[in-house]
Structure 1
Amino acid sequence: MRIIAGDWRGRALTSVGKGDPRAHLRPTTDRVRESLFNMLGGGRFGEPFDGARVLDLFAGTGALGLEALSRGAEACTFIDDGRKAQSLLRDNIRLLGCGDRATLIARDATRLPKAEAACDLVFLDPPYGKDLGTRALHAARDGGWIAPEALVVWEESAPQTAPEGFALLDTRRYGDTHVTVLRTT
């Protein structure tokens, strides 16, 4: 895994091998991440990274949030309750030297504390097929984590419908990964 573009372009992230199935650690591949970020940065969704506050739910290795930081996001809060994921995240934050812009909260993404500041861009990559995405999205909204007009990027094994309070903007399929893009209404 590596950072695709931006300030840290080409920098390798800590290797996870094939992931950790018991912890549902399944990193987004470089190819999928590159396609996803090209779609987001292509102008259709404005400038989603420039100065954005980012929330990375079920963060795993943190590759999505770190890519956003590399591309100009102001700060990212990473949420994951897995010990292996937290260890990898800490290593990646240290590796990139972005501890001043990154916050790790060791917590279940469906039970979030109240936010100090709302986020403009949300990555949601729950364990596939466990029906946790909608619960995490509601917890983030109810906790004040999601700003009005925020962009939400949701990875799952199937396309997702927009929950109440969100509008569907786009869906894409990359192999067995489906990306659903939403905006808060």
Structure 2
Amino acid sequence: MRIVGGKAKGTILLSPAGKNTTRPTLGRVRESIFNVLANVGLEEAKVLDIFAGTGAMGLEALSRGAAEAVFIDRTTSDIIRKNAERCHMSGQVKVIVRDVTPALKLLGGKSFDYIFMDPPYRKGYINEILKEILSCGICSDDAIIVAEHSVSEAPDLSLFEDRLDLWKEKKSGAIVVTYLRCRTTEGV
């Protein structure tokens, strides 16, 4: 796996050895996501990568001009830090080594322009994590949440209709990438 665009393009990323503890976003899916986001711009953005795994999503954003990235992953913090070093981005990276819910609570008071989330499939996490993101108030005005999920567990947008709008959705085989635009004020 490697960074597909920007100043760190071509940098090979480390992955955890042994069991399949992570499910990295495929390069073609990642490239598609960042082609969509290029239309709204990443320059100087603050990004959050939840269930970060190798850190590929946040590092890709940094490579393409984002200012800083926060990564949340309970088990792969060393890999994320090493990958940030490989990409010469260590100074732009913060890694939180906790479960997602307590980590998100730690971020209260900060705001992010892009939030990437790729929770484990078939665990029912997607709505739970969206609820937590919104309750922590970490979305900047018009923030975009990029949620990768299986076709069988799309977010239930009726639960969030006062705070989230479906911006785009793209299917690639059994994977769906849903782009949600945040509203910081309910009903606006």
- Mapped contact 2:45–2:68 kept (Cα < 8 A): yes
Aligned residues: percent identity?
38
2:115 match: 122
Question: Aligned equivalents of 2:50 and 2:89: distance in 1?
Answer: 18
Choose which of 18, 23, 27 in structure 1 pairs with 2:24: 27
In structure 2, what residue type is equivalent to 1:170? K
1:166 match: 164
In structure 1, what residue type is equivalent to 2:179? V
Matches within 5 A, 1:52-63: 52-63=45-56
Deviations 1:13-42 (A, max 9, x none): 11447x744x4x10011111112211221x
Question: Aligned equivalents of 1:20 and 1:169: distance in 2?
Answer: 35
Matches within 5 A, 1:1-185: 1-16=1-16, 20-21=19-20, 23=21, 25-41=22-38, 43=39, 46-47=40-41, 49-82=42-75, 85-111=76-102, 112=104, 113-158=106-151, 159-162=154-157, 163-164=159-160, 165-185=163-183
TM-score scaled by structure 1? 0.88
Deviations 1:129-151 (A, max 9, x none): 11112222222222232212100
Which secondary structure does the structure 2 equivalent of 1:37 belong to? helix
Q: Which runs of 5+ in 1 are unaligned?
A: none
Question: Aligned equivalents of 1:114 and 1:151: distance in 2?
Answer: 17
- Mapped contact 2:127–2:155 kept (Cα < 8 A): no
Q: Which runs of 5+ in 2 are unaligned?
A: 184-188
Deviates most, 107-116 or 73-82: 107-116
Question: Aligned equivalents of 1:123 and 1:20: distance in 2?
Answer: 24
Question: Aligned equivalents of 1:54 and 1:114: distance in 2?
Answer: 12
Deviation at 1:66, TM superposition (A): 0.3
TM-score scaled by structure 2? 0.86
Question: Aligned equivalents of 1:105 and 1:116: distance in 2?
Answer: 16
Which secondary structure does the structure 2 equivalent of 1:147 belong to? strand
Give the number of aligned pairs: 176
1:114 to 1:35, Cα distance in 2 relative to 1, 3 A: closer
Which secondary structure does the structure 2 equivalent of 1:110 belong to? helix
